Structure 1
């Protein structure tokens, strides 16, 4: 799958709390542990599509998705595609510092091909393939449930068959968007926020995810809007 390429700016990544590119970073080691646990499950089961969601906004799901994708990309012989599928508040491009004219909506509306819409985001000797997103002005839930989206996912599976695909989804409890796409995902990572996520919200998410393969619940110690670094707990 041919795509445009660009080199990411380390200063911008650091500012946005994207540390997964730095193998020697103490903070990136949290993501490396999470990466190892998730890949073991995915490899064992032959899974390819990993969905990342949260109960509500500001839990850190997009930061987690970006850092996890970079951590996977640092492994030898591993390829990863990061898809921004949050059609309400697409932020992957902002966090990585990517500026690209095409995106997921371009593909859905048949204005651009999948290859022309992806970006090879380079950092050091490694790179992450990124399919940027953009907010849909209306009909986000309808796009997620559409046959067109199903066709795009099949195209991703076909053209990126040797790699792991990470999807940054909208928050689970904000509408029907995530529920309609979950059956097409192989596994789910739920990101919760200390001081943001309530016990009732976690229970509600678990109810919605009963038929999904929930590989991990990440407990994020600060919100996505905080300027400080954060740690993680796993369950």
Structure 2
């Protein structure tokens, strides 16, 4: 069972006129288990050709798990992410100074594992993909413990690390189209002991520039590692136009948040999502708050 499937027990559905009952204890949405043994991902047989692979997201199962989906009706979580995405989209469309990073590169991170960053990154990507004027690329940049494909019930695929390692992959070879026409996914790919150096390389800078500028309507969402766990998140943050910090209500300490923010102080746009917050008096309803 994926983390997303477990998330359904974590999110209480709103009841008009009265708070919902206290949800049963469940694992945090974004708890990350110890990393599995490295998976050897074979290159495609025809090395010079684009794979142009399309994957099927089980939208019904995502909806059952409490996720945002394009075909679902109005829901509390859909409304919450509609509010969250609006400022991010506005900033993504603003023209930056030449020295600034592209505002359509948005990194979602947290201080520590288990605060809900992957859950928020997936929901944010799907919510923005529901816009009429934008396409979205969701990048699994948590290269040490990739979870996007696993949470979506999909098998490992070549990804961004294989491009950076020069394994004869072009980014078009590893980008996955989905049955949501405006949403594509770029997996993490192979693990590597020098992941930080690869993410800080000139090859990565060129790749980010290509992702940011190839399509004028594209917004790129990166699910990054936690800031206090690895150095990869800090390297990524330095190259992002916007950073979204996910903070778990009543769990994330003030000290952890201060330490995390100090590591990304140079970023031009830092935003906070207060996740798993008890929204109503009595503490019966979970919600998401953006600032």
The TM-score normalised by the length of structure 1 is 0.86
Which deviates more, 197-206 or 152-161?
Answer: 152-161
1:185 to 2:240 alignment: yes
The residue aligned with 2:131 is: 75
Structure 2 residues not aligned, in runs of 5+? 1-49, 97-102, 278-284
How far 1:165 sits from its partner (Å)? 0.8
Q: Which has the larger radius of gyration?
A: 2
- 2:104 equivalent to 1:54: no
1:200 pairs with one of 255, 261, 264: 255
Task: Assess, with a 3 A threshold, how the Cα gap between structure 1 residues 2 and 231 changes in structure 2: closer, same or farther.
Answer: farther
Q: How far is 1:4 from its partner?
A: 1.7
Q: Counterpart in 2 of 1:166?
A: 221
Deviation of the 1:41 alpha carbon = 2.3
Measure how far apart 1:55 and its partner are: 0.6
Moved more, 144-153 or 46-55: 144-153
Pairwise CA distance, 1:91: 0.7
Deviates most, 55-64 or 131-140: 131-140
Q: Which runs of 5+ in 1 are unaligned?
A: 223-228
Give me the CA root mean square deviation.
Answer: 2.3
User: Could you say which residue in structure 1 is the equivalent of 2:54?
Assistant: 5
Partner SS, residue 221 of structure 1: strand
Larger helix proportion of the pair: 1
Please tell me whether the aligned partners of residues 194 and 220 of structure 1 are also in contact (alpha carbons under 8 angstroms): yes
Query: How many pairs align?
Result: 227
Q: Deviations over 1:104-143 (max 9, x none)?
A: 12211222211110111223xx431110114624222222
CA contact 1:13–1:95 (8 Å) conserved in 2? no
